[in-house]
Amino acid sequence: MFPCEQCGCCCRRIGEVFFARHMAEPDGVCKYLTADNLCEIYSERPIFCRVDEMYEKNLSDKMTREEFYRINKEFCKKFQSEQKN
């Protein structure tokens, strides 16, 4: 299972994802992100919010799970770093 830190950084940038803009508030933050970085629709969230399911259904024939996790973790760290600045 992908080691999500529940920092909310990716949820704060959902408005940057063209196919997910319908989920964003005007400031780009996901409208389902709570004040404590949880998801109001966690059990019903879309597949692009589900790292493991996204991999299994769309990418398992293109790369290893480890590679997909590494890529996702790189973006996590980038988003976390940018949020601190």
Collapse the DSSP code of 34 into the 3-class scheme (helix H, G, I; strand E, B; otherwise coil) and give the result: coil
Amino acid present at 61: D
Asked whether the predicted pLDDT for residue 70 surpasses 80, the reply is yes
User: Averaged over 47-76, what is the pLDDT?
Assistant: 96
Residue 59 CB contacts under 8 Å (≥ 6 apart), including other chains: 68
Q: Chain centroid to CA 28: how far?
A: 13
What pLDDT sits at residue 76? 94
User: Averaged over 3-9, what is the pLDDT?
Assistant: 93
Distances (CA, A) of 42 to 38, 81, 85: 8, 25, 28
Asked whether the predicted pLDDT for residue 85 surpasses 80, the reply is no
Split at pLDDT 50, 70, 90, the class of 66 is very high
Closest to 27 measured CA to CA, from 10, 41, 14: 14
- pTM attached to this predicted model: 0.85
